[in-house]
Amino acid sequence: MTPSVASAEDEFRDFAYIVSHDLSGPVRTIVGFSQLLAEKLDQLPSDEDKLHLELIMESGQKLNEMIQGLLVFSRLNTVPRAPELIDLEITLARVHMELQALIDATRAQLTYPRMPEVLADNNRMFSLFYFLIENAIKFRRKDVSPDIRIFVAERPEEWEFCVSDNGIGIDPMFHDDVFRPLRKLHTDDAYPGVGMGLTLVRKIVLQHGGAIRLEASPSGGTAVIFTLSKAGPVKS
């Protein structure tokens, strides 16, 4: 079996697992509480009914977020790459603008050197840095403003990037697991989300002939280190 075929089959198994397991929980919750409310339509709303309705809405929202994440993942597999020479300085300016409200609300600091031009898919590069920076802000420590730093190193055939933060960090035993679809290490109450950010980041990096890994950052948070091939995206 070739590596590409094995990879495709692995992704199919991941997708089947997601549909059969992860999405079924929210669906069961929606159906179950909907049935409870349907049995009481002739009664005035009670506090219990309101709680059931809240649970339905929360589960529906989570299900929608999961589906949206899967749609993005699916599009990364199906939408052709359109390589062009991209100034990542402009890309990061767009990401900063898109995340401005979140950056202001958390008093986050984002610093980076002069970014290079890379041969890559423009939309995918935006998504790559958007997910990384959004993740770094989301998984911040309580009462500590996020400090996100991007480093760049040029290699003969690739660019190496490091997105480092001062957040809560990731236990090394989960450094591989967090790249799998819908894998979460925290409860929704602590850190809302569906666990697709790093999955999408990894997919984009691999599509551009790169590799990705996690390390602990000097400030105790997480450092996401990845490469992008100077030759541009790999062929589908």
Q: What is the pLDDT of residues 182-205, one digit of tens each?
A: 666 555 555 555 567 888 899 999
Q: How far apart are CA 121 and CA 167, in angstroms?
A: 29
pLDDT in tens, 108-123: 999 999 999 999 999 9
Whole-angstrom Cα distance, residue 111 to residue 151?
9
pLDDT at 105: 94
Average pLDDT over residues 122-132: 94
**What integer pLDDT is reported at residue 9 of this predicted model?**
47
Give yes or no for residue 160 having a pLDDT over 60. Answer: yes
CA 91 remoteness from chain centre: 17
Residue 177 has pLDDT above 60, yes or no: yes
pTM: 0.75
For the stretch 188-192, contacts whose Cβ atoms lie closer than 8 Å and that sit 24 or more positions apart, written own/partner, are: 188/62, 191/138, 191/139
- Domains of the chain in sequence order: 3-78 (1.10.287.130), 83-229 (3.30.565.10)
Of residues 71 and 20, more confidence is placed in: 71
Q: Indicate left, alpha or beta for 169 from its phi (over 0: left) and psi (-120 to 50: alpha).
A: left
Give dist(CA 38, CA 91) in Å, integer: 49
pLDDT bin (cut points 50, 70, 90) of residue 180 is confident
| pLDDT for position 1 | 40
| Range name among 33-42, 140-149, 218-227 with the lowest pLDDT average | 33-42
Percent of the chain with pLDDT over 90: 43
pLDDT score recorded for residue 129: 97
DSSP SS3 for 219: coil
**Comparing 194 with 27, which gets the higher pLDDT?**
27
